[in-house]
Amino acid sequence: MEELRRSMHVRVRFDGRAPRLWHARLVERLARMPGLRVDVDVRPGGEPWPANADLLFRLESLLNRLPGSKVSAPLPAGALAALPRAGDDIPDLVLDICGDVPPAAGGRVWRLSFDGRPGEVGLLAGLLAGDVPVAVLTEGGAVVASGRPGSEVPGCLPIAFEDILMRTATLIVAALSTPGARPAGPVGRAGAPGPHLTMPRLAVLTGRMLVRAIVTRLYRLCFRTPHWRIGWRRLDGPGLIDLRALPPVQWHRLADDGRRFYADPFPIVHRGETWLFVEDFVHAVGKGVVSALRFGPDGPVGRPEPVLEEPHHLSYPFLFEREGAVWMIPESGGAGTIDLYRARNFPGGWEKVTTLVSGIVASDATLVEEGGRWWMFVTVRDGPPAAPLGSGSYSDALHLWSAPDFRGPWTPHPRNPVLIDIASARPAGAIVRRGGALIRPVQDCTRGYGHGLALARIDRLDEEDYAQTVETVFMPGPAWPGTRLHTLNSAGGLEFIDGSARARRLG
C-alpha cells in the first residue's frame, strides 16, 4: 500500500440501478485525497435491490414527516453522470461496493459487506432484522478495516440506512488515507438472512411503522422529549467502576420543574466544597446552558443556577483543575469548535481562553494526561453542524488529539478516526485510573442515543495507534428506571449518573 499511495488509481464499483447520494459523496472525498486518481464503474450488477424497498423508505419517510420525504431515496437517472468514468485500463485498486467484481489481474479488490453480505443489500438485511450491522472491508478474505457505524435514530429505517452509509464512506477513506491503517472495530457476524420484501411482508412492516409513528406522536403530545434526569448517591463503598454493576440502591434524583431537564453531571471539589455542573436545557428555548449547584452534607443546596451561556447550545461541561484554576471544556458542536474556558470567580465568571480545535462538529470532549502528553477524546460528525438528517451519526466515530499542554497546540491523531463503533465510541464521563489501567466511560448507542453506558479499558494510547476493550455494559433497569443511561462521574464522595425520565406537558 505504501508504494501504491504515491500515485494510486482507484476505481469505485457501484450498482447503477440505484445511484444514491453517498456514492457521489464517497467519490468526492476520495478525489480530494492527495495522490489518488478516481473513476467509477456504474453498471447494473451485484445482488438485486429488493423490490418494494424504496417504497418502504418512502412510506416511513412520510409517516415520520422527514424533510421532503427524500431521505435514502435513489438519485435521478444520470445523477452520477458527472463522475469520471472507468476506462479499459486496470486500476491499482477496485472498491467493490456491490459485490460482483472478480479478482482483477494485476489489480487489487476491496469488498464492502455488512454482516457478511455485500454492499447496501447486506445493510438493508441487517436493519430489517433489527441489528446494527458491522461494515467490513476485505481483500482476498483478509480484513482491511471494520467498524460498526450507527445512527441516533436506529428505529427509523431511512435515516439509519443513510447515516450508516455516510459513515461507511468515512471508514473507506480512513483505510486509504494512512498506509497500513486498520480502523478498530468489530469484525462482524455470519451472513444475515435476505431482505424478502413481498407485498404481505411490506404490509406488515408498514403497519408496524404506522403504529410506531402514532405512538411516538402521542407520546410527544403528552410528554416533553427528550427529558433527562440526574441521579446521585453517597459512596459508602465501591462505585460503579469497581462494582461493574448498578448497585441495588435507591438513587436520589435531582429535582427539576418538568419544563427543563438536567443532564451530563460533572462534579468537582473546589476549596473543600463539592459542586455539580450540568447541562441545563429549557424545552421552550431548545438550547442548553451550563448551570451549577453546591452539595452539602444533606445533598444539593438550592437548585442549579446558570453560570455559562453562549448563543449556541452548551452541554457536557468537562471540568478539571490545574495551576490553581478550574477549567471547563463544554460541548459546543453547534458552533463547530472545541473551546477552553477558565473560571475567574468560581463557580461563575467563566471566560473563554482559547479555541482548541475549530471547523468540526465534535461531541463530548474528554481530556486525560498520559505518557507525558494530554489526550483529547471526542466523537466527530462529518459535515456542518446544520447538516440534514441522514448525514452520519454524532456518536460512532472516535477522534483523538494530543498536545504537550492542555491549552495546545493540539495535533490530530494520524489514524483518525481511531474507532468507528456506535456501541463504544462516544465519551460518557471522565477517564479514571484503576489498577494501572485507564478506564473510559462510553455511551452504547446501538439502540439509540444514550441508551446504555459501558466501561472500556484503554489498551493502547500513543501517537501511532489506539485500542480499547469494552469490559462492562450497564443498561437501565430496576436500579435506574427509564429507557436510557448516559453519563457516569464521581467526586467528593458522591457518584452521579443520568438517564431518561418522563415530564408531562400538562399538570
Distances (CA, A) of 347 to 303, 351, 452: 14, 12, 30
The CA-based diameter of the chain, rounded to the nearest angstrom, is 77
Amino acid identity, position 268:
I
Please report the pLDDT score of residue 281 as a whole number: 95
Three cell numbers written together for 103: 479478482
Q: How many CA atoms lie within 13 A of 139 on its CB side?
A: 17
Which residues lie below 8 Å from residue 65, measured CB to CB, with a gap of 6+? none
Residue 136 contacts residue 143 (beta carbons within 8 Å): yes
Please report the pLDDT score of residue 502 as a whole number: 66
The contacts found for 244-247 with CB under 8 angstroms, 24 or more apart, are: 244/455, 244/471, 244/472, 245/472, 245/474, 246/474, 246/477, 246/479, 246/480, 247/479
| Domains along the sequence of the chain with CATH | 2-218 (3.40.50), 227-504 (2.115.10.20)
DSSP assigned state of 458: E
| Sign of the C-alpha dihedral computed for residues 248, 250, 252 and 253 taken in this order | positive
Distances (CA, A) of 442 to 58, 131, 132: 34, 20, 17
Measured CA to CA, the distance from residue 104 to residue 118 in angstroms comes to 18
End-to-end CA distance of the chain: 64
Q: What is the pLDDT along the chain (507 residues), one digit of tens a residue?
A: 444 455 899 999 988 777 788 888 899 999 999 989 999 998 888 888 887 888 888 888 887 777 654 556 677 767 777 788 888 888 999 999 988 888 765 679 999 999 888 888 889 888 888 888 899 999 988 899 999 999 988 888 888 999 999 999 999 999 998 866 555 555 555 444 555 666 566 566 666 766 676 666 665 667 667 889 999 999 988 999 999 988 888 899 999 988 899 999 999 999 999 999 999 999 999 999 999 999 999 999 999 999 999 999 999 999 999 999 999 999 998 899 999 999 999 999 999 999 999 999 999 999 999 989 999 999 999 866 656 655 789 999 999 999 999 999 999 999 999 999 999 999 999 999 998 899 999 999 998 888 999 999 999 999 999 999 999 999 887 777 677 899 999 999 999 999 887 666 655
Distances (CA, A) of 362 to 42, 53, 316, 366, 451: 34, 33, 11, 11, 19
Which residues lie below 8 Å from residue 412, measured CB to CB, with a gap of 6+? 399, 400, 401
Residue 100 has a CB neighbour count (10 Å cut-off) of: 16
Provide the CA 278 distance to its chain's centre, in angstroms.
Answer: 21
DSSP assigned state of 448: S
Measured CA to CA, the distance from residue 485 to residue 305 in angstroms comes to 24
